[in-house]
Structures are given as structure tokens and as C-alpha cells.
A and B are shown apart, each in its own frame.
Chain A
Amino acid sequence: MILKSLISQEWTKSLRKQGFYKNLAVNIMLGFMVLYFGTIFLFLGFHLDDMLEKADAKLNPMELFNGAMFYVLLIGLSFRFFMQQLNTINLPPYQVLPIKRSLLVNYLLLKPLFSPINYFMLLVLIPFSVQSVSKYYDGFTAFRFVLSFIFVVWFNSQFAAFLKRKYGTSFLSFIVVLVVLGSIAALEYFKVFSFYKISMIVFNFIVLQPFGLLISLAAAVLPFLLNKWFFSQNYYPEKFNEKLNKSNTSTTDITIFNRFGVIGELITVEIKLILRHKRTRSILMMSGLFLFYGLIFYTNDHYENQNGMLFFVAMFMTGLLMLMFGQWVYSWDSSHFDGLTTQNIPIKTYLKANYYLLIGFNILCFVLTTPYFLFGMKFMYMHIAALIFNSGVNVFLLLFFGTYNTKRIDLSKSTMMNYQGTTFKSFLIVLPIMFVPMIIVGGVSSFASVNVALIILTLLGLTGILFRKQMLNLCVNQFNKRKYALNEGFRQVE
């Protein structure tokens, strides 16, 4: 009974969230993404058998897959550790009601297992086991194979939640996970120690031996018990929320911009904002990974003549931080926007501060991506053109159209893959910024040459930089027009 009402209250909570209907467009977008990946996974599932048949002569596909299972587990675990939102219900209001605590805890722990996203990989697994495992063994073994994978999912889900509860996600844990993954991969690669072989032995045992599945079920229950233990140790919510809410934020002051007057002060505040919130810090981390984007494209011969695509990559990397933060250039300040607009800060100064911050980001990213010049002069020209175009055109587009993002961003809550505060408009703003230059380069280079395309973009960028005063004034006027809508929207707490 109680369980039923808990579930229904959870459901009403998500329906009554303010953003739910407004965010329909975003949800549809995400829906398409799910469909897209679902199709790819299914396709993979039906072809995995063929692929693995060719991969090794001696071992059958299931054995190969079991060998990789350890890595599937490990990667799944680290993904969950960073991406999976910790499942919480707002405990205190329930705590005072006559509901057994163990029921609440069980509910809290087991609910994520019912999320369909957990079983996404089954789109690969089920076709594969039907096609391949049943061919080598029998239908029953195929079933056991799928079941063993489901236990892996359970283990991962519970264990990641436990690690997260116990240690929290911080930059340090990010590094630790990277190092662990890296060293395991290195041990395997240099044939020092093969987890692959062990994994094959263990998972073959699990699938093929009578009691194998029981062992893996026990392994899945273990982290569940660990979680229970954690909750018994930390009886009060304030205790177990401590790790999550802990402001491990350093309060060190940043003084390098002090010389630049009010603009410097505003930039300092903005940098502190980025460094002192989870959401912005995780954007920084993601950006760090995206800087390696070029390694995929620049080294691939397939893209050698696709200049549009290459320029897209160049622009994306050199404008990385500008694009990531510029999309919501004003929204980041939403929690103190009323304060900013009534303080002794002329609107123009405020916009100028944001302008210089974004330009600073551009220069930083440009410098960080200079190693790509080693891949060829072409990339150097592309990066320079992208830098100038970003700093002369895109930056103003962001400042201008950023005024249409009127949703308050909640900085405190989230970690990676957070779409709170994202609306359809956010997509509309970024799409032309990202793709118009790509189309220009692709088009012009197909009937003239890349260099002509790059020169055109550079000239456009230089024009923007030359007329920055006028451009900035345009943005100020636009900001003043949208000011009340911004104030109003940012005041709405979701």
C-alpha cells in the first residue's frame, strides 16, 4: 500500500515539475536520440555474431563476449559512477510519517533497477544470444547468458550508487577512475596480465555451470547489502547527504583580474561561479575530453577532403568553452540576476565583461589546441580562421541570442548530462552558430578552395572585431529590450 503511494507520489512529482511541459521539445529531442541509439544497438546485436565469428577461429562468439564482459562491466561501472544521478526521494517529510525506514531504504535502492535505460544493452545481447549462443549451446544457455548480463547490470547499478554515496564524485575521483582504467588497459595491452582470460573463465563458468548463476546473483546482491549497511551507518539524512552536499569548494580568492576595474571584478565572479559549482565544473571536465576530438578526425583519411567537417571540428575545439558557456551566457547569473541588474553596474559594462570572458576562453582553447598544428599547416589555418570567426561573429551571436534563454539554471544540483534549463530555444541558438560556418566552408571549398573559404570567414570575423563597439551596442539594446523577460524568467525557481 505504502509502496504504491510512494511510487505514485514520485510520478506526480515529475509531472508537476514546472519544466515538464515547457521542456517537451527537449524531451522529444532526447526521444529521438534514444530511438537512434536503439536502432544502432539492435543492428549491432544482429551482426555481432558475424563479427565475432571472424574475429577468432578457435573460440566461439559467446566465449569472446564473456572475455570482454569484464571490460563491459568496468566501463559500465565508471559511466554510471559519473552519469547516473543518485536516486533520492526527499526523505525528511516521509521520515516523520509512520512508514518503516527499511521500506524507504529498499525503495530508494531498488527503484533505479526498474529504469529501462539500464537494460538498453539488452538490445544487443538478446539478438546475439538468440542467434549465436543458442547455435553453439542451446536455448536454455542463451537464456542464462542474458540473465548473467542482467546480474552484471544490477551489480553495476548498486555498486556505482554505493561508491557515489560513499566517496562522491569529484575531480579527484574522476582522475582516479581514469588512472585505474588506463592501467588495466595498459596491463592488457602490453600482455603483462590478461583480465580478458580471467573474465572468460569466470563468465563461462557463470553461464555454463549449474551454480554459476547463483554466484553471480550473490555478487549482485552484495553491493545492495553494502548500500543497506551505508544507510544503517548513516541514519540521518543530514549525514548521508553530507558527502553529496559537501561544499568542497575552495574559497581561495582570485586576484589576477583586480587591475581591470569593474569588468575585472565581474570576470572574477564569473570564474568563481564556474569553479564553485558542480554543473559548471563537469562542463569543464567534458570540455577537457572534447579537446581530443581532433584526434579522431584529423588523423582519419576518410575526412581528408571533407573540409566542412574538418572546419566544424576546428571551430568546435577552438570555441569549446565559448560555446559551452556562451549558450547560457546570462543564465549562469540567474540566481543573482536581480542583484546584478540593480547594482551599480551599467548594462554595457556587464556585457563587456561577458564579452571579454568569452574572448579569453577562445584564446585559451586556441592555445590548448596548438599541438594539432603538427598534423599539417591546413589545420593551423583552420584554427586561426576559426579563432577569428568565433571572436568576431559567434561571440556576438551568443551575446545577442543569449537573451532568449530565460530559464533559471540550477547550478547546485547536477552533474553530467544535465538538461535542466535547456529549452528548444537553446538548440535554435546553437545550431546556426555551429553549422553555418561548416556549410560555408564545405560549399565554398567544393567549387573554389578551402583557402578561399577560410579567407571569407576570417574577413567576416575581422569585420566583427573591428566593429566590436557597434556590435556590442546592438547587444546592449537587445539586452535592454529583453531585460524584464530575463529578470522574470530567472526568478522562477523550478
Chain B
Amino acid sequence: MIKVTDLQKTYNGITVLNIPSLDIPQGESFGLVGNNGAGKTTFFRLILDLIEASKGEVLINDKIVMRNDEWKTITGSFLDENFLIDFLTPQEYFNFIGKLHHKTEGDIALFLESMSDFFNGEILENKKLIRDLSKGNQKKTGIAAALMGDPKILILDEPFTALDPSSQIRLKRFLNDLQSKFNMTMLISSHDLNHVTEVCKRIVVLEKGKIVKDIHTTEDTLKELESYFAV
């Protein structure tokens, strides 16, 4: 589904990401962990064609991502608040995203209905603008919007931070559901080793832009990761 060959990103002569090759097959839940500055967000931005690769390329469904529009139809993503149109109300925002995916008003209402648990009554009920929502609710809005177009690929950067404990648990359950029901390919980065091992079947550890570990999640994975990150 996603194929990375010889991908490099350099800023002022310093290589911040260097991935010789990586394959993410369809339906895989792919977890990305690493300390700050390891290159997680850079990697996601390269996949989403938000920054230009210094070398190499990313392919989605065997098509080069760079300066292409095709992958956008099957990819849902939420990295940070730059993805939100913050002067709209959540409802308007969802309508907008829904229309981009050629959904009818009924489809959109149905989708939001399915999200009502996750939203916990805090998103749609009051007519607030997105910019006036709390960080956690903004995150929920962004994650929901990423899911609106029934994506085959879902890319989330730090989805658990800023969420309250109940929402974190709901999100975990939700992501596992999506995986098993729709065989969705997921790329999730997180600082929380617990969460990421629970959601992802494959964990990749980045350090200074390089892949240092690539493991299939087992019962021991959490311990392995904890000992790796222990100072």
C-alpha cells in the first residue's frame, strides 16, 4: 500500500530522515515511536506531500505521491491544528469535508451519529467555532474529519495527547474496530508506548531519522520498548 524507497530529508546539510526502504502493506497498523526530533512528523509530512524529499520517493498504490492529487482520495490524515479550518463550527467543517468526498447530507449525519460516543456531546451541540474549542476537542474534530472520506489509509500524529482518559480509551477501541472491520491501513505516532502497542501490530522505532527497530507486536514488545527508551 505504502512503499518508501531511499527516502531522505536534509535541512541545511543535516539529514533529519533517512529511510532506505520500507513497505507498509494494506491493513497494517503501523506505529511510529521515537523521542522528540527523531523524524516522526517529518516522515508523515513526506508521505502526505507537505514537504519535498531531498532524495527518494514515497509511493501509495504504486503511484508517486509527489505533486500528485490521486492519493488524496483514499487518505485521511490529521497531524496538527494546521489541518483544521478554525473559523468554522465543527458542523460546518464536517459538512465541508463531507462534500469534498461527495457525501450527501444524510451520509454526513449518519457518520456524525456514529461518532457521537467519541464526541461525548461536546463537539456538535454548542455552536462554537473550532478555534474556541479546547485542544482535546479540536483533536477529536480533526480525527473525525480524517475518517470522513472512508479512507483506506489513516495517518494520525500523536492522536492520544490532549485527550482525556475516557476519550483515549474510546479512541483505542475505535481504532481497533476500524482495523478489524475495514482492514484500514493505519499510521500512528505516539509518545505513549502503552497506547501504541495496544493499537499497532507493527512498531517502528526512529532515532535521529533512522529506523533502529522494526518489530511485530507481541506481549513482550512493551517491555522491549521500555528498556530501549530507559536512560
Contact = CB atoms under 8 A, between A and B. Distances in A.
B72 A342 contact: yes
A342 B85 contact: no
B82 to A, nearest CB: 4
A144 interface: no
A228 interface: no
Given A342-B50, A483-B67, A251 B82 contact: no
Interface stretch (A84-92, A272-280, A294-302, A456-464): A272-280
Interface in A328-368: 335-339, 341-348
Contacts, number: 81
A269 interface: yes
B49 A336 contact: no
A165 B73 CA distance: 48
A277 B86 CA distance: 11
Nearest to A342: B48
B129 A269 contact: no
28 contacts: A247-B131, A247-B132, A249-B87, A251-B129, A262-B99, A262-B100, A265-B96, A269-B85, A272-B87, A272-B92, A336-B82, A336-B83, A336-B85, A337-B82, A338-B50, A339-B82, A339-B85, A342-B72, A342-B75, A342-B77, A344-B72, A344-B149, A484-B51, A484-B52, A487-B50, A487-B51, A488-B51, A490-B82
Interface string A200-224: 0000000000000000000000000
A56 interface: no
Interface string A239-274: 000000001010101000000011001001100110
Interface string B53-86: 0000000000000010100110101011011111
Contacts of B7: none
Contacts of A249: 87, 129
Contacts of A277: 87
A345 B67 contact: no
Contact of B50 (A262, A341, A480): A341
A491 interface: yes
A491 B87 contact: no
Interface of A: 247, 249, 251, 253, 261-262, 265, 268-269, 272-273, 276-277, 335-339, 341-348, 411-412, 480, 483-484, 487-488, 490-491
B87 A342 contact: no
Contact of A342 (B49, B96, B131): B49
Contacts of B100: 262, 265, 343-345
Nearest to B53: A484
A420 to B, nearest CB: 17
B72 A251 contact: no
Contacts of B170: none
B189 interface: no
B173 interface: no
A345 B51 CA distance: 18
Contacts of A268: 96
Interface of B: 48-52, 67, 69, 72-73, 75, 77, 79-80, 82-89, 92, 96-97, 99-101, 127, 129, 131-132, 149
Contacts of B52: 484
A346 B86 CA distance: 21
A268 B100 CA distance: 13
Contacts of A412: 131
A276 B129 contact: yes
B133 to A, nearest CB: 12
B88 A272 contact: yes
Given A247-B132, A338-B79, A342-B77, A273 B87 contact: yes
Nearest to A343: B100
B50 A269 contact: no
B228 to A, nearest CB: 31
Given A251-B127, A251-B129, A265-B100, A345 B87 contact: no
A341 B49 contact: yes
A225 B71 CA distance: 62
Q: Which of A253, A262, A276, A339 has the most CB of B within 10 A?
A: A339
A-B pairs, 8 with minimum CB distance: A339-B83, A338-B82, A484-B52, A346-B69, A276-B87, A336-B85, A480-B67, A265-B99
Contacts of B99: 261-262, 265
A343 B100 CA distance: 8
Contacts of B97: 343
B129 A336 contact: no
A339 B79 CA distance: 9
A488 B11 CA distance: 12
Contacts of A251: 89, 92, 127, 129
Contacts of A345: 72, 100
B101 A344 contact: yes
